[in-house]
Chains A and B, each alone.
Chain A
Amino acid sequence: MNEKKSVQNSGPDNMYRLIFTLVMIGIISGFVLSFVFQWTAPHIEQHRLAAQREAVFSVLPGTVEYEEEIGERVVFFRGFDEHDNQTGVAVLISGSGFQGDIEIMVGTDPLAEKIRGIKILDHTETPGLGARITEQQFLNHFEDMPFGTYQLVQQDPGEMEVEGISGATISARNVVQIVERAVGKIQDYTGGGR
């Protein structure tokens, strides 16, 4: 109560003091945080790169080296094995899931027009349900899948079909859609056969 009263009674002098205090705190805080940022940024970048590297190696088996090229809202990776032969092209792509964005690395063999493997890099799906999209059992369905559009089925997946996850139909469907989009991006990028 007395706090309200003092606001009304405060003259310009008091007003300046209030603004001065807040500005001072703001400056000190900005100063401290810029140090924190400089200190932690390289570590954060390093984790991101390590995760990316690991994902490229896992979706393009046999890769020992890769080249990175930034596309429109996606990043392409050309993988090479130890004899400098191309192992495939991977794309890092993100799309919306059930709760937030899902970030996926999709590895393909553009010559054979097949998916080689996929890996979920980041997601915010419900643990125990949607989060099961990261399980290898689900991801394995995409291995050696020809380019095209895919159907989500409950069991016994045939050609161009992916077995869904019970309780996580939406997350699984979102992954399928993102992978389809990734395939499209790769086809555009490689110009259909390079």
Chain B
Amino acid sequence: MYQLIKDFKQGLWEEHPLFVMILGMCPTLAVTNTAINGLAMGLATSFVLISSEIVISLVKKLIPNDVRIPSFILIIATFVTFTDYFLKAFLPDIAASLSLFVPLIVVNCLILGRQESFASQNPVHRSIADALGMGIGFTWGLVVLSIIRELLGMGSIFGAEILGTGYRQMIFMILPGGAFITLGILVGIINLINLKRSGN
């Protein structure tokens, strides 16, 4: 039980997929212009991560070592296609705003990385704990980033006006440049906190 909690907690801060491991950058930068998109992307990625970690840790003994990576990618691609069609059918608005970035979950290095370094070596229950932790970690990272960008860029959070109509929107924040710089500064801040902590 202690082991499970440890596996779960890893992804939340210590080995945070975005801020510490710098994985899965493409969707992180591309869809975080509004908080709702960031949250949706986080949840979609978490779903794919959890389901593929479960399947892969179950079938890992059946897969020869040499075709490990292509097999993992195939399994991930299957779940991603499922997610894509599911979103299009039941949440069309979200599917439209995430557009190209749902299929790109296939090549999100976070997902393949966790299969390779965790699910293919550990039993199912530990893989679930790991996937949950990493998924929640990834999601909170996306949400924080997108809240900052949406607030400064459009003066709202989750579409609700916060800063009033008089606020001069920093359009820069929702453009590509703003995405890179906000993420750079956030990673810097997390590094600083970790440096301070380990220094003491």
A and B touch in the complex (CB under 8 A): yes
Q: Is the CB of A3 within 8 A of B64?
A: no
Classify chain B's interface size: 20 to 34
Give Cα A8–Cα B82 distance, bound, in whole angstroms. 36
Please report the C-alpha to C-alpha distance between residue A39 and residue B154 in the assembled complex, in whole angstroms.
Answer: 38
| B67 interface neighbour in A18, A41, A44, A100, Cβ under 8 Å | A18
B33 is an interface residue with CB less than 8 A from chain A: yes
Q: How far is the CB of A113 from chain B (nearest CB, A)?
A: 34
How far is it, in angstroms, between the C-alpha of A33 and the C-alpha of B75 when the chains are bound? 11
- What is the CB-to-nearest-CB distance from A23 to chain B, in angstroms, rounded to a whole number? 10
Pairwise interchain contact A21-B78, C-beta atoms closer than 8 A: no
Complex Cα gap A127–B176 (Å): 11
Check if A124 is an interface residue, CB within 8 A of chain B.
yes
Q: Which residue of A lies closest to B93 (CB)?
A: A47
Cβ-based interface call for A122 (8 A): yes
The stretch that binds B, out of A24-32, A57-65, A147-155, is A24-32
**A44 contacts B89, CB within 8 Å?**
yes
Residues of A in contact with B, size category: 20 to 34
- Which segment, of B20-28, B120-128, B167-175, B187-195, faces chain A? B167-175
Q: From DSSP, what is the main secondary structure of chain B's interface residues?
A: helix
Q: Is the CB of A18 within 8 A of B64?
A: yes
- Tell yes or no: A7 within 8 A of B by CB: yes
Query: Within 8 Å of chain B (Cβ to Cβ): is A73?
Result: no
* Interface contact A6-B66, CB-CB below 8 Å: yes
Q: Given A17-B64, A22-B67, A124-B99, does the pair A40, B75 have CB atoms closer than 8 Å?
A: no
Could you list some 10 contacts between A and B, CB below 8 A?
A: A10-B66, A21-B62, A22-B71, A22-B74, A25-B74, A25-B75, A29-B74, A33-B81, A36-B86, A43-B88
List residues of chain A with CB under 8 Å of any chain B CB: 3, 6-7, 10, 14, 17-18, 21-22, 25-26, 29, 32-33, 36-37, 39-41, 43-44, 47, 100, 122, 124, 126-129, 167
